[in-house]
A and B are shown apart, each in its own frame.
Chain A
Amino acid sequence: MGKRSVIPFGPQHPVLPEPIHLDLVIEDETVVEAIPSIGFVHRGLESLTDKKDFNELVYIIERTCGICSYMHGMGYCEAVERVMKVQIPDRSRFLRTVWAEMSRVHSHLLWLGLLADAFGFEALFYQSWRLRERVLDMFEESTGGRCIFSVNKIGGQLKDVPDDMLKAFSVKFTELEKEIRVMAKTFLEDYTVNKRLKGVGILTKEQALEMGALGPFARGSGVRYDLRETGYAAYPELDFEMCVEKDGDCYARTKVRIEEIFQAISLIRQAIDKMPGGEIAVPVKGNPMGEYAMRLEQPRGEGVYYIKGNGTKFLDRVRLRTPTFANIAPMVQTLKGCKLSDVPLYILSIDPCISCTER
């Protein structure tokens, strides 16, 4: 029986750019228990429902997180549109799908870069972020912003994208896909990368179902659950297959995310080919009355947006449940029994977004 000591990890640490605090109880370099405590990024967004009306809340909800910012705005707008029974035009549905899938590509490339930095391969970190800049340039051309776009509004979109720009994006994505395939070979086949990733951080399918894991974290363990099958935005008219792996270790989750990048690029090309013409927004009258919980597939998993209106322009309650909040409990479970030097890899394999968790 070795000696036990407690090592505090965070909030300022070189692994993640975000503050998270963990108390690691270790016994001879093996982690026995991990106790998380959050609250450094807590701003208290949901208490702003009595100061801003439901149209202005879009801007606040978008700034919950800078990486998944588009999906937050989209989820909130879809929830309010379902409560108010507003049908958005077809072109707006397809534009939302294109931007949402572009968001997924840039978020997964960001994660691949941070993962490479965590196991010490800095050149690969720079390569993936260099490729990610191409996606951000496309965002800037179409919306004007690199992280926070503010193109969603209740009833549709604020900005339209001309068709020749969309065709140019389709060509750019085809070239980008070839470069990502070359880079993905290093992640999946290099000998040293495999040694760091295979067999590390195993979460079995039963554990994933019992602890409520979500997103690529659960799909790497064999759980078939992807909210894009529920048919919001333009997904009923596009065709895609869920990416699922069986092994449940960090390598399987990396493979799921890399496959999702290619699938997202294919969905973008399909949506651009089928893009209908027409207007991009409908006028919205009245105030929301009733409640609805909208569920979306964010890059990190399933996000739930619950709103409750009472007929006035101030909502009763807005509640976002982001996927990292649900993934923290299974992550703490997988940390038991790992080596101290692997802790950054375990934390990164759920793709944590702490500002989404704490709002």
Chain B
Amino acid sequence: MNKVYDPVQTNRNVEPENLIEEVRKKRADGKRLLQMFASYIEKHYELVYCFDEGDYRLENIHVVADRSTVVPSVSDIYPYAAPYENEACELFGVKINVPMDGYRHRLYKIAEDAPYVSPYDHDEDSEEHEEEEDGE
């Protein structure tokens, strides 16, 4: 591979219904899934799927979901995405249908459910923040 300095990164938003189609297109083109993770910002989830476009370029696909949306799992297209999806389910409480085989759906085995979710408003003056709220 040639040396590519400061490779380009692009970001794109995709609806949860079109996610599987987009991921299948990437797999058909032979692109590698780098990582997948969840964030909790202003009371909704944002899932980011990072793909390597070859020559070290990066494309990030952002999926916005709220607490009750069921996001489809990409583990049958990319089998090694299972640990990333397990992490998003266990630490954030995102609803993804991860397959049960392999990692048994309890990869981290922590005592609390969705401990990373905390409705903290990023005001400059606000100082209080609650611990996790009662989610499902």
Q: Which positions in A face B, CB cutoff 8 Å?
A: 35-39, 42, 44, 46-47, 50, 209, 211-212, 224-225, 227, 229-231, 236, 291-293, 295, 302, 304, 306, 308, 310, 312, 314, 316-317, 319, 321, 325-326, 328-330, 358
| Structural contact, A230 and B56, CB atoms closer than 8 A | yes
For the complex, give the distance between the alpha carbons of A231 and B79 in Å.
31
Residue of B nearest to A329 (CB): B80
B89 within 8 Å of A by Cβ? no
| Structural contact, B122 and A37, CB atoms closer than 8 A | no
Known pairs A50-B120, A293-B9, A293-B60; A321 contacts B34 (CB<8 A): yes
The 4 closest A-B pairs by CB, nearest first: A231-B5, A329-B80, A317-B39, A321-B35
| Structural contact, B9 and A229, CB atoms closer than 8 A | no
Residues of chain A lying within 8 A (CB to CB) of residue B79: 211, 329
| Structural contact, A212 and B122, CB atoms closer than 8 A | no
Residue of A nearest to B78 (CB): A212
| Structural contact, A35 and B103, CB atoms closer than 8 A | yes
Residues of chain B lying within 8 A (CB to CB) of residue A325: 83
| Structural contact, B5 and A212, CB atoms closer than 8 A | no
Per-residue contact bits, chain B 99-136, to A (CB 8 Å; 1 contact, 0 not): 00011101111100001101010101000010000000
Residues of chain A lying within 8 A (CB to CB) of residue B6: 230-231
Segment 31-56 of B: residues with Cβ below 8 Å from A = 32-35, 37, 39, 41, 48, 50, 56
B64 within 8 Å of A by Cβ? no
Q: Find A209's partner among B4, B32, B83, B115 (CB 8 Å cutoff).
A: B32
Known pairs A37-B104, A44-B115, A44-B116; A314 contacts B56 (CB<8 A): no
Distance between A241 CB and nearest chain B CB, rounded to angstroms: 11
Q: Find B4's partner among A50, A229, A314 (CB 8 Å cutoff).
A: A229
Q: Find B34's partner among A304, A308, A312, A317 (CB 8 Å cutoff).
A: A304
Complex A-B: 6 CB contacts under 8 Å: A44-B115, A47-B118, A50-B118, A306-B50, A316-B39, A330-B80
For the complex, give the distance between the alpha carbons of A255 and B56 in Å.
25
Distance between A354 CB and nearest chain B CB, rounded to angstroms: 13
Residues of chain B lying within 8 A (CB to CB) of residue A47: 115-116, 118
| Structural contact, A306 and B83, CB atoms closer than 8 A | no
Segment 70-93 of B: residues with Cβ below 8 Å from A = 78-80, 82-83, 91
Residue of A nearest to B1 (CB): A224
Residues of chain A lying within 8 A (CB to CB) of residue B35: 304, 319, 321, 326
Judged by DSSP, the binding face of A is mixed
Judged by DSSP, the binding face of B is loop
B13 within 8 Å of A by Cβ? no
Known pairs A37-B104, A291-B11, A293-B9; A229 contacts B1 (CB<8 A): yes
| Structural contact, A39 and B110, CB atoms closer than 8 A | yes
For the complex, give the distance between the alpha carbons of A306 and B11 in Å.
13
For the complex, give the distance between the alpha carbons of A229 and B3 in Å.
5
Residue of A nearest to B11 (CB): A291
Distance between B128 CB and nearest chain A CB, rounded to angstroms: 11
Residues of chain A lying within 8 A (CB to CB) of residue B91: 44
| Structural contact, B102 and A50, CB atoms closer than 8 A | no
| Structural contact, A293 and B58, CB atoms closer than 8 A | yes
Identify which of A231, A310, A314 gathers the most chain B CB atoms within 10 Å of its CB. Answer: A231
Residue of B nearest to A322 (CB): B35
Residues of chain A lying within 8 A (CB to CB) of residue B2: 229
Residues of chain B lying within 8 A (CB to CB) of residue A306: 37, 48, 50
Residue of A nearest to B129 (CB): A50
Residue of B nearest to A23 (CB): B104
Residue of B nearest to A224 (CB): B1
| Structural contact, B104 and A230, CB atoms closer than 8 A | no
For the complex, give the distance between the alpha carbons of A312 and B123 in Å.
8
For the complex, give the distance between the alpha carbons of A224 and B106 in Å.
34
| Structural contact, B56 and A42, CB atoms closer than 8 A | no
Known pairs A291-B11, A293-B50, A321-B35; A36 contacts B103 (CB<8 A): yes
For the complex, give the distance between the alpha carbons of A47 and B115 in Å.
8
